[in-house]
Structure 1
Amino acid sequence: MRFFHDFKKFINKGNVIDLAVGVALGTAFNNIVTSLVNDILMPPIGKILNGVDFSELYINLSSQHYASLKEAKNDGAATINYGLFLNNVLRFLIVALSLYVVVRVYTRLSEIRESEVEKKEEAVTKDCPFCLTEIPEAAVRCPSCTSYLETAEDVT
């Protein structure tokens, strides 16, 4: 019973849920990137290179000639599939670039948000004239030195 209790405790931790969401989103993102590479980027690149389909580029290590990679694989021939490797490198670069952009935008937004919070915090505090402790703007008594402070109403 202790095992199930510990397991339940482990599963209910926020990190496990965050990890599961991250893996699910990563899988979905991978499908999008795969489609972007295979369906959108590679055809124009292949056209620029005179109709070359990277996925069909390979080096045949056997002495027999094959018209396509599929034919070589069906026959069980040893091949070096450098075209598929190039596709995977391109896919990696696209994922890395996409993640870089997402992280950069998130970081910029976080910095903007933090600076706005700091501005708000600066605006809502003042220094106690007696002990120089930072206190809320609306305070009428300093929590550090217990001095009574002048309010805007007292000054007028």
Structure 2
Amino acid sequence: MSFVSEFRSFIAKGNVVDLAVGIIIGGAFTGIVNSLVNDVVMPVVSVVVGGIDFSNYFFPLNSAVTATTLDAAKEQGAVFAYGKFLTVIINFLILAWIIFLMVKGVNKLRAAEEKKPVEAAPAPPPADIALLSEIRDLLKNR
């Protein structure tokens, strides 16, 4: 088997295609979660903790940094931006929670699908009808 045909066989498998679709949807979903965290959750958290903006929380790593905003501080030198790290952690927790709920929902649907009664196969014809059908088929083949 050549490398190209082996690769083509690998790509054609359902799991690879499912994984690719999942990654693409996950990438698009990241934008939604980032907006949710930055535009909805973090402002609420900021109000609850007294109007604090997490995005500008940083610790200067040298004495040359005197700016009060993160962007300006980064231009002056090295900073430890733990506010952005907190935002990323909140992003992760929200994304993990949403994925957990999605998997839980899919598992619930699968369990409900498995509980559905399986339709019984039609009963085989009586023996005399089956025998007559065999005789008919044999006569047709002559």
TM-score interval, normalised by the smaller of the two chains: 0.7 to 0.9
Question: Is 2:88 the partner of 1:68?
Answer: no
Structure 1: runs of 5 or more not aligned: 125-135, 143-156
Cα distance, 1:3 vs structure 2 = 2.8
Counterpart residue number, 1:9: 9
Where structure 2 has 5 or more consecutive residues not aligned to the other structure, the ranges are: 128-142
After TM superposition, the runs of 4+ consecutive aligned structure 1 residues lying more than 3 A away are 139-142
1:75-126 CA deviation, whole Å, 9 max, x = no partner?
2x2211111111011011101110111111111111111111xx335xx3xx
Between the aligned partners of 2:10 and 2:63, the Cα distance in structure 1 is: 56
Pair 1:110-2:110 in alignment: yes
CA distance in 2, matches of 1:141, 1:89: 68
TM-score normalised by the chain length of structure 1: 0.71
Task: Answer yes or no: is 1:31 the counterpart of 2:31.
Answer: yes
Shift of residue 140 of structure 1? Answer: 5.2
Name 2:134's counterpart in structure 1.
none
Q: Give deviations 1:24-66, integer Å, cap 9, x for gaps.
A: 0110111111111011111121122222111111111211322
Identity of aligned pairs, percent? 39
SS of residue matched to 2:118: helix
RMSD: 2.1
Residue in 1 that maps onto 2:123: 138
TM-score by length of 2: 0.78
Q: In 1, distance between residues paired with 2:24 and 2:122?
A: 46
Task: Give the helix-richer structure, 1 or 2.
Answer: 2
